[in-house]
Structure 1
Amino acid sequence: MKLLNTLLLLVGGVPLLVAQNLAVSGMVTSEDDGQPLIGVNILIRGTATGTVTDLNGTYKIDAPADATLRFSYTGYAPQDIPINGRSTIDVKLAVGARLDEIVVTALGISREKKALGYAVQEISGDELAATQESNVIDALQGKVAGVLINSSSGAPGAGASIIIRGISSFGDNNQPLFVVDGVPIDNSTIAGSNLPSAGSNAVNSAEQASFSNRAADINPADIESMSILKGPAATALYGLRAANGVVLITTKKGQAGRTQVSLNSSYGISELAKRPDYQTVYREGRFGRLRFNGDGSPLRFQNFGPKIYPGLTPVFDPIADFFQNGYSQDHALSISGGSDKATYATSFSYYDEEGIIPFSDWQRITGRLSGTVKASDKLSFNGSVNYTNSGGNRPHSGDKSIMSALSYQATSFDINDYINADGNQNGYSDGIIDNPRYLAEFSTLVDDVDRMIGNLGFTYEPADWFTMTYRAGLDFYSDNRERIVPNGLDVSSQVGGFIIETGINQRQLNSTLTLNFRRQLTEKIGASLLLGQEVNERRSESLIVRGERFTEPNFYHLNNTEVGFNENSQSLRRIVSGFGLLSFDFDNAIYLDLTGRNDWSSTLPVKNRSFFYPSASLSIVLSDLVTLPNFFSFAKVRGSWAQVAKDTDPYLIGSLFEQDPTFPQFGTNGFRLSSVFGDLNLKPETTTSQEVGLDLRFFRNRLGIDLAVYRQNSKDQILQVPVSNTTGYSRFLTNAGEIENKGVELLVSATPIQGRHFRWDASINYTRNRGEVISIREGIEEIVRFEGTGGITAKLVPGGMVGDLYGYAFRRDNAGNLIIGSDGFPSIDDTELVKVGNALPNFTAGMTNSFSYKGLGLSFLLEWRDGGDAVDMGIRNGIRNGILAQNARQYEEVIFNGVTATGEPNTQAVEIDGETLYRSFNRYNGAAEVILEDVSWFRLRRASLFYNLPKSLLGGGKFIRSARVTLSGNNLYINTPFRGFDPETNYLGAGSSIYGFTGLQTPGTRSYTASLNLTF
């Protein structure tokens, strides 16, 4: 509240500080074709005051009559133009002879891209907003080289994960650090258990929910730009929190000049993007006949019965009957302005989405205020505060969930007839299987998040060679959840229904002080030294209260339960750091950066909590050193070497007692000794990286190539390894193992056509990464990360690749022929798990094309992901129970190609009766080769068509300065061999770095959106 009051006081004084300046306006166009240039930076030289051109290439700014304006735009030569008392200045920018692009780097420092010795890719806020994605991570899909992005599900507000340059840790801590306006923020996805602790059918089952990653709290329309810092050389100044890369978010700020008001409104509709096909040939039963329960009712669990006769047996489509169209609306209002003494920006937004699963929804409300005040020529202040409220009804996924129940439904059952006369559910197979629509309405999981992100800082520049900067930041949120499951459902049948209420509080404080010294050593050699100190503190609290066995039906409250449990946890961690950056530039052509950082982490043993890591990077601009052929516009080579580190979670050193929610004594939970002992000599994980790169521009910047090749070795992995139970523990947390990632990143950009009225821009990005498990601790042969259905297991094995999947395979002879058993079916070797695939892609690629003709524009993004395997647990359920299209192949005689145990060709014909072939785990359907699927895809990720209304329709722009109408679509087309729903979703959620399992979460969607943008 103090921060908010201070900002309001600062911004409230803006009108009093406005100077009597001259109002200057005009239009900026391209000298080549006369087209307006959107987003040109206009700066009053010698100040931080500026503005940008709007959608029509026009600008307005208040400036002193004797000032000079600097016009700069990526790919064009900058111009400095004295005002000389003029009120109208039109400018034509010429295509530049070299690249002067400015990007945001570590600690929010803006630098020329040519000076960097490492890879950085920046995405503009306009590009993000144009995607119409509610989650900023989803908006990056297909746009950034070296990045792997996956959505956890297609539910409203679902989380998304981002992995930069491969998985580097054995655990799940592989997400990059997110920094907003210089302040580190939390981007975790807290899943946790939403099931009873014991005594129900839920024990040993897994339930996930489509909870948001916390970056989803940020309104994409508030973002000015996002910088992706990929390698350790780019992130070293951020320390151990940035070992997996950094995503820098810069929000929009106010500019000096006329107050600008922007209004954006959009409405969208979504539908199921892809679905499996059902068979409508055979109805319920077994071995070709109807079967009945003991009470004489039909046994519907298996669908291997007699044929369906049209007109006599009702046929339903469970998928079409269950899923609905989703709807969304997004509204945002922003107001900004200021003078050369102070600026301000404020925005408000409301987003609301209904999902394709009935009764699912998600809302987000945001409010943001930022401002700057120039107290004197030497001292300025800045600050911002952002509030978000988000949450909704989350469709649960995983075992015994909505999607799990749907995967069992047959075409003979109407799932929309889901409530009996007594108010209880009408479940498939007479209640053995829950009705998914009943689950969606009554088995609920609701969350409500309140979040505040703020910062306040100052910049003091007493001399042109010295600058002091300080920034204090706060990130706080509370996440309240309520899970209600009535009695009578499979998951609650043994506990009489249950309710779980969860309260999560997270708070992060950050303080950063930097001192920047600049010196021109000689006429051609410049140097700068940045020294800094930082303190980061993170506090986490959670309280979980469970109640089981409702006393009164249909009254879902903790006070209406007979048995109660509770859990409470708290943690506190702190990092204190000192860092430095020494930079040299030689004749503005050779740039050398040397960094060093020392962190002290509270989560490590005292003797190992201090650790230092350096980095070095070099950039050589060849085009400024030697004469190159005329078709070269720019040429640079770069290279870097760096180290970063990573600590562990709090309270894992030595032994400790933990709360045992399954052992209540007289209403009070007991405590037990943890089964994990933490190494007293635990060290931080260390990643060492080498990177070389090439940046080339041709034909007056009409063609660009950016290539990076890297290798990263992550040693001293922190993980739990098994130990003998005689020690009193089952696991030992220690340093063990190494992962090596090698990769290639390629970014090609081009402007094939640039005419007077027509322009075509294109870009292609390509990524190939290979992660190898170099070693694990001596004596440990493997690490099992996840055991899925059908024996499919994610394991790490020395010499293997990260993402390898293991399972049971068909027996084969030395020539690779199937060995056919005495029953005529291929035999399965279930004695050991063998490698059967890898969950990660061979490579990914994205291609963006943008076309513009006068005020009309068209753009689309194609995405290609080659390789990767996964098991679809929903498809697995469907095949086992005879409901999918492939199950229509029954009662045929086939001869499987292969050899008998004696090596003779197989000649035995067997009848496929469905039950024998598909139901048994020990038959054909039990082999990983059958249930593991290729998740390669080629998709039209998104497309948009926009039109900028001419000023003649807007009254000359006197009130409405610009207007744009946009039609867009996401996930419009997908081509994949995968048989199930959209294979992009991850069963284990956005917080997991384990891939290869899908099918029991809300499927991916296809969406269409219409939007209107007005600027006043």
Structure 2
Amino acid sequence: MRQKLLLLFCSIIFLSTGIFAQEKLVTGTVKNEAGDAIVSASVKIVGSNKGAITDENGSFKIGVTALDKLEISAINYQTQVVTVGDQTILQIVMVAAEGSNLSDVVVTALGIKRSKSNLPYAVQQVGGDQFTETRASNFANALSGQVAGLQITQNNNLGGSTNVVLRGFKSLTGNNQALFVIDGVPIDNSNTNTSSQKQGFAGFDYGNSAADVNPDDIASVTVLKGAAATALYGSRAANGVILINTKKPNKAGIGVTANFGVTTGSMDKSTFVHYQDQYGAGYYDPDVAATHYSNTDHPAFFYYDVDGDGKNDYVAPSGDDASFGEKFDPSLMVFQWYSQDPSSPYYNKATPWVAAKNGPSTFFINPWSNSSSVTVSGANEKGGFKMGYTRNEDKGIMVNSKIIKDLLNFGAHYKLLDNLTVEGDINYSRIRGRGRYGNGYGDPSSIAANFREWWETNVDIQDLKNAYFNNNKTNMTWNWKQIGKNNKPAYWDNPYFSRYENYETDERNRYIGHASVNYQATAWLNIMGRVSLDHYDEIQEERTATGSLNPDGYTRYNHAFSEYNYDLIATVDKDLGEDLNLHALLGGNIRKSTTSSIYAETNGGLVVPNWFALSNSVNPIEAPVETYQPIRVNGVFAGATLDYKKLISLDLSGRNDISSTLPKGDNSYFYGSASASFVFSELLKEAGWLNHGKLRLNYASVGNSAPFASLVDVYTKPTGYGSIPLFSLPDTKNNADLKPERTNSFEIGLNMDMFSNRVGFDVTYYNTHSIDQILPVAISDATGYGFKYVNAGDIQNQGFEVSVNLTPVRNSDFRWDMNLNWTRNRNKVIKLFGDNKNLQLGGFQGGVSVNATVGQPYGTLRGSDFIYYGDEEGQTVADAIGKHVILSSGDPALTGSNEVIGDVNPDWIGGINNTFKYKNFSLAFLIDIKQGGDVYSIDQWYGQGTGLYKNSVALNANGKSVRDPVDEGGGILNPGVTEDGQPNTTYAVVSGVRGLGYNAMPNKAFVYDASYVKLRSVSLAYNFPQKWFDNKAIKGATLSVFGRNLWIIHKNLPDADPEDAASSGNIQGFQVGSYPTYRMYGFNLNVRF
């Protein structure tokens, strides 16, 4: 591997060695004001028939004399005339013609540049400044709200995962993430989170590997949405493609760019718990004797001698991690958890029973990050190079948490001959994490779950901090099983001990690169050969320190991924007559990928305390869990576009893949697309108000291969029986007759630009069916298996996408641009396998599951619901129909746990992007909107039941606290009717064992509308006047200030961010252990030399 990397790097270095050789011919590039290459621009010597045409990089070369003048012209741009003089390198910047289409050229599949004016499928571009101006550490997060049809789901974990889904979920159990491609190199975007972590249980979120991409190096991002646009990429592009185009050298001579930025943040308090401050620790119900801790005047306390003076003391029930205890009263003297802390001033003392001054929100700290980079580039008539280094350091919202990214890149291109160009690049990244946040449910490392679900409001965070640092950093916790009698953690460690002692570390080293040869065989035939690689290896280490609630131990996970792609592509661009143009391609691709991993953990604890190594295991470690997954796909593809008078365009493409994961002899599959566009504005040239108008139509079928090792059953080796090794078959039987999944897609669209390009819109309707889904279905236990992989199922996605571009004001000094995106997707499971009507995708705490149910959207939530009047025969009171049935106790009647209680899919998503430019100032802001969709809050499910939230002390209609006894006017009046249809008038008890949360209410009560409206980002930039830098080393500078996630304008989920997700993947729609959202503020300085 290292030899191959060294060979590739040396090849790239070789490309740049002759860059500055002199040439008598004049060379140059033609670009627009945004820095994008203008393809097929005409470069002509005035008064002569001699000329040249710019290539796909906007480059040209032409022999001239010093007295010649060159006329440069291109469609939609003002013609320029320049005098050659003694120049040998020309950098031409074209100004858009009045009424022109400013972004005519887009990068499409396989890196091929095409005119957007006749493109027969939907694409959308995002400029590179969107990623650098607001400094998101994961560039994918910055796409939220920017692209119609693209749904971005992110979370608040440090370096956490981002879900990137285009046009809905298409695969029942497979990958639904878009494919990421950098400069023609497909890259892996998987994450290595455990399956249980993805379902909301304990673990760490290690993020997606696409986060390795350097935002500073992005020139633009092109989103290919439908199957017709992505078919040439093969089976893994069925979910759309995110094309990342990196910055290239674009100036003569040597140029240096330096960048420095700092970011910090403050908590958005609407996304964290608002605790009640009237009651403290315990599970107490005055009417349930089993919840009484003592037979005293204060039965919510234990009553025994703690300090050894022979007298009984009131003692807080610290072992019960809830706040349904005694009402706070400063005159009550109580022994609390810190009475067992020798370093505390309250050691062995009773203290007033009051709410904590420093609640859990004070545990979090303000995040901070800095970024610095330097880039050196250069170019002349023969070629160019660019090399750079970037360092990002992010510190999180909890102590001992940070991620450091070191990013190196080098790229070069060089013309060996007039018609032969070589180029290559290599990008290296080193990502080091320490102290990522524990999340999910079921482990002390998930501090947010502790704070949100199981907490005592009398516990002060500052006391916990002192207890950790003043006791030699030992686990002096608040959660003793019983104070003075059993001083061991019951459920939770001291959060400072968790952060400083039970931390994880991880490191990923990655190489992404390519080398290519481009041969212009004739004026109309180009041949390109390319080899690319994406390789990374990572290590994840998790620690449980001696003295923790859980036994001490150490786990180590090594993961490696490598992929090589070999491409040979011939393209034809030829006029077949005065009115007819042919653009065609023919190519082949060989893809070889390998994924391997090894996992091992200590057994029985650590011999030497806090020495974290597998060799320090008390007992011999179990055999490591190892995986090795080689995959090979060979593909051939072809495409052709016929363009008649730039009026009608017909596009055909096809690809045939042979996959190693399908049955031998039946592993070849073909798919293709047919598209057409009609540029009706060509017939309406006299209509001055219309700049461009196009209808487009396409149909495509794209395959998706089977997962690795789905054909033949493979034995696994579980823990042996004593010295006897054991082997077993998996619970799911593989199937040697599998065939690829297939997505059939239809799309129709209308695009118009009007009024000198001040008004434009793009409307798309699409309808996709994903059939022959590869999924596990239940089979008879008599077979020895529980499930079997089969081809079955059909998911439909259909919807509308609308993108509107407006320029309300445009003059010499001021410009206002607006971009509006709106998407409505409707998802439906048409069928599964045989008579099966439901496929459970995952299950959450509390008995809730996410499912694919026939006739329902993909991602329905199932759990317990209210019983509604009218559901049973004989319930005929008209005014009561549909209302909750309330029992004689005043509590609601509940169903079982298999009712449909929600749908994770939004009704629609949208974004409003505004940019204002006045002279050297630029102001931009983005509003991101999600309407509809449901989220099940596990935090509310438990937190309501443990008495943490303010509604557990609210006043009822009687003016009494809901916690007061019912016979004294307390309790809650649940809305609904009795079983005979009469309005409910019975108040229910609110206590530690009934009334509000998991102990009395159905799951449905904690399913919330996940809508939000967010001010996602704001940026203000100032370009320093060029006259300040005349004849100086500095050529230009820009200073910008920015903010991210500044304001949640609207949300319905209480005490949390509705966007926050545990991980990426198919299992969405739940919220557990959410960390608060932080408003981020920063500045950035860019200086060019």
How does the TM-score come out when normalised to structure 2? 0.86
CA distance in 2, matches of 1:886, 1:237: 56
Number of the residue aligned with 1:521: 576
Which letter maps to 2:592? E
Is it true that 1:179 corresponds to 2:181 in the alignment? yes
Does structure 2 retain, via aligned residues, the 8 Å contact 1:11–1:344?
yes
Number of the residue aligned with 1:56: none
**Distance change (3 Å), C-alpha of 1:710 and 1:452:** same
- Kindly state the Cα deviation for residue 912 of structure 1 after the two structures are TM-superposed: 3.1
Number of the residue aligned with 2:1072: 999
Q: 2:407 aligns with which of 358, 366, 369?
A: 366
Number of the residue aligned with 1:9: 14
Is it true that 1:749 corresponds to 2:827 in the alignment? no
CA distance in 2, matches of 1:544, 1:63: 65
Number of the residue aligned with 2:116: 113
Does structure 2 retain, via aligned residues, the 8 Å contact 1:753–1:760?
yes
Number of the residue aligned with 1:259: 254
Between the two proteins, the alignment pairs up a number of residues equal to: 977
CA distance in 1, matches of 2:493, 2:1056: 21
What's the C-alpha RMSD, in Å, of the aligned pairs?
2.7
Which letter maps to 1:674? P
- Kindly state the Cα deviation for residue 40 of structure 1 after the two structures are TM-superposed: 6.7
SS in 2 for 1:107: helix
- Kindly state the Cα deviation for residue 323 of structure 1 after the two structures are TM-superposed: 0.7
CA distance in 1, matches of 2:534, 2:367: 32
User: Could you tell which deviates more after superposition, 422-431 or 116-125?
Assistant: 422-431
Q: Map 1:121-270 onto structure 2 (within 5 A).
A: 121-151=124-154, 153-192=155-194, 206-255=201-250, 257-270=252-265
Does structure 1 retain, via aligned residues, the 8 Å contact 2:775–2:790?
yes
Is it true that 1:550 corresponds to 2:550 in the alignment? no
- Kindly state the Cα deviation for residue 48 of structure 1 after the two structures are TM-superposed: 5.7
User: Could you tell which deviates more after superposition, 638-647 or 528-537?
Assistant: 528-537
CA distance in 2, matches of 1:69, 1:290: 90
Does structure 1 retain, via aligned residues, the 8 Å contact 2:946–2:992?
no
SS in 1 for 2:323: coil
Which letter maps to 2:140? I
User: Could you tell which deviates more after superposition, 732-741 or 311-320?
Assistant: 311-320
- Kindly state the Cα deviation for residue 590 of structure 1 after the two structures are TM-superposed: 1.1
- Kindly state the Cα deviation for residue 64 of structure 1 after the two structures are TM-superposed: 7.6
Does structure 2 retain, via aligned residues, the 8 Å contact 1:318–1:410?
no
- Kindly state the Cα deviation for residue 696 of structure 1 after the two structures are TM-superposed: 0.4
SS in 1 for 2:717: strand
Does structure 1 retain, via aligned residues, the 8 Å contact 2:590–2:632?
yes
**Distance change (3 Å), C-alpha of 1:585 and 1:901:** same
Does structure 2 retain, via aligned residues, the 8 Å contact 1:24–1:62?
no
User: Could you tell which deviates more after superposition, 508-517 or 621-630?
Assistant: 621-630
Number of the residue aligned with 2:789: 733
Number of the residue aligned with 2:272: 275
Is it true that 1:39 corresponds to 2:95 in the alignment? no
Unaligned segments of structure 2, at least 5 residues? 1-5, 44-51, 287-298, 307-314, 331-351, 481-488, 871-880, 955-962, 965-969
Number of the residue aligned with 1:559: 615
SS in 1 for 2:12: helix
Cα deviation per residue 1:854-893 (whole Å; 9 max; x = unaligned)?
Answer: 1111110011110111122223332221111222232224
Number of the residue aligned with 1:663: 720
Cα deviation per residue 1:11-40 (whole Å; 9 max; x = unaligned)?
Answer: 12222x243678999999xxxxxxxx5537
- Kindly state the Cα deviation for residue 108 of structure 1 after the two structures are TM-superposed: 0.2
Number of the residue aligned with 1:941: 1016
Number of the residue aligned with 2:311: none
CA distance in 2, matches of 1:614, 1:640: 11
Cα deviation per residue 1:531-583 (whole Å; 9 max; x = unaligned)?
Answer: 11110011011111211311222322222211312111111010000110011
**Structure (1/2) with the larger strand percentage:** 1
SS in 2 for 1:608: coil
Q: 1:357 aligns with which of 369, 391, 398?
A: 398
Q: 1:864 aligns with which of 909, 925, 929?
A: 929
Number of the residue aligned with 2:875: none
Does structure 2 retain, via aligned residues, the 8 Å contact 1:357–1:1002?
no
- Kindly state the Cα deviation for residue 7 of structure 1 after the two structures are TM-superposed: 1.0
Number of the residue aligned with 2:1047: 973
Is it true that 1:962 corresponds to 2:1036 in the alignment? yes
Is it true that 1:486 corresponds to 2:569 in the alignment? no
Number of the residue aligned with 1:630: 688
Unaligned segments of structure 1, at least 5 residues? 29-36, 54-60, 196-201
CA distance in 1, matches of 2:422, 2:372: 31
Does structure 1 retain, via aligned residues, the 8 Å contact 2:108–2:114?
yes
**Distance change (3 Å), C-alpha of 1:680 and 1:557:** closer
Does structure 1 retain, via aligned residues, the 8 Å contact 2:200–2:844?
no
Does structure 1 retain, via aligned residues, the 8 Å contact 2:473–2:497?
no
Q: Map 1:311-322 onto structure 2 (within 5 A).
A: 313-322=354-363
Q: 1:509 aligns with which of 540, 564, 576?
A: 564
SS in 2 for 1:8: helix
Does structure 1 retain, via aligned residues, the 8 Å contact 2:779–2:788?
yes
Does structure 1 retain, via aligned residues, the 8 Å contact 2:904–2:1068?
yes
Q: 1:68 aligns with which of 48, 51, 70?
A: 70
Does structure 2 retain, via aligned residues, the 8 Å contact 1:263–1:1014?
yes
CA distance in 1, matches of 2:30, 2:686: 37
**Distance change (3 Å), C-alpha of 1:703 and 1:40:** same
**Distance change (3 Å), C-alpha of 1:299 and 1:284:** same
CA distance in 2, matches of 1:62, 1:967: 47
CA distance in 2, matches of 1:193, 1:489: 25
CA distance in 1, matches of 2:415, 2:972: 83
**Distance change (3 Å), C-alpha of 1:519 and 1:1010:** closer
Is it true that 1:406 corresponds to 2:451 in the alignment? yes
Cα deviation per residue 1:472-510 (whole Å; 9 max; x = unaligned)?
Answer: 0111100111110124434x2xxx311011111110010
Which letter maps to 1:478? D
SS in 2 for 1:809: coil
Number of the residue aligned with 1:817: 883
CA distance in 2, matches of 1:828, 1:1011: 55
Cα deviation per residue 1:925-982 (whole Å; 9 max; x = unaligned)?
Answer: 3x1231111111111000011111123433x253211111101000000021111322
Does structure 2 retain, via aligned residues, the 8 Å contact 1:985–1:1003?
no
CA distance in 1, matches of 2:242, 2:750: 22
User: Could you tell which deviates more after superposition, 481-490 or 161-170?
Assistant: 481-490
SS in 1 for 2:253: strand
SS in 2 for 1:559: helix
SS in 1 for 2:602: strand
CA distance in 2, matches of 1:25, 1:523: 27
Is it true that 1:651 corresponds to 2:709 in the alignment? yes
- Kindly state the Cα deviation for residue 904 of structure 1 after the two structures are TM-superposed: 3.0
Which letter maps to 1:896? N
**Distance change (3 Å), C-alpha of 1:25 and 1:821:** closer
Does structure 2 retain, via aligned residues, the 8 Å contact 1:346–1:369?
yes
SS in 1 for 2:699: strand
Is it true that 1:619 corresponds to 2:673 in the alignment? no
Is it true that 1:1014 corresponds to 2:1087 in the alignment? yes
Cα deviation per residue 1:348-383 (whole Å; 9 max; x = unaligned)?
Answer: 100000000221111111111111111111211111
Q: Map 1:676-695 onto structure 2 (within 5 A).
A: 676-695=732-751
Does structure 1 retain, via aligned residues, the 8 Å contact 2:277–2:355?
no
SS in 1 for 2:430: strand
Does structure 2 retain, via aligned residues, the 8 Å contact 1:155–1:360?
no
Does structure 1 retain, via aligned residues, the 8 Å contact 2:323–2:455?
no
SS in 2 for 1:483: strand
CA distance in 2, matches of 1:609, 1:674: 24
Q: 1:498 aligns with which of 508, 531, 553?
A: 553
SS in 1 for 2:707: coil
Q: Map 1:565-576 onto structure 2 (within 5 A).
A: 565=622, 566-576=624-634
**Distance change (3 Å), C-alpha of 1:731 and 1:802:** same
Does structure 2 retain, via aligned residues, the 8 Å contact 1:409–1:428?
no
Which letter maps to 1:1006? R
Does structure 2 retain, via aligned residues, the 8 Å contact 1:405–1:435?
no
SS in 1 for 2:496: helix
